[in-house]
Amino acid sequence: MANHWLMKSEPDAYSWQQLLKDKRTHWNGVRNHQAALNLKAMKVGDLAFFYHSNEGKEVVGICRIAREAYPDPTDTAGRFVMVDVEPVQPLPTPVTLAQMKAEPKLADIGLIRQSRLSVMPVSAPHWALICKLGGLKKAP
Partner DNA sequence: GCCAACGTTGGC
Rule CB under 7 A: say whether 11 interacts with DNA.
no
Q: Which of 81, 118, 129, 133 binds DNA (CB under 7 A)?
A: 118
d(CA 10, CA 14): 6
Chain-centre distance for alpha carbon 108: 17
Q: Does residue 38 touch DNA according to CB under 7 A?
A: no
Handedness of CA 126, 116, 74, 70 (dihedral sign): negative
d(CA 120, CA 124): 13
| Residue of 2, 20, 66, 97 interacting with DNA (CB under 7 A) | 97
Residue 139 engages DNA in binding (rule: CB under 7 A) = no
Which is nearer to DNA, 18 or 114 (by Cβ)?
114
- Quick one: which segment of 20-28, 66-74, 97-105, 121-129 binds DNA (CB under 7 A)? 97-105
How many chain residues bind DNA (CB under 7 A)?
A: 18
CA separation for the pair 109, 101 (Å, rounded)? 9
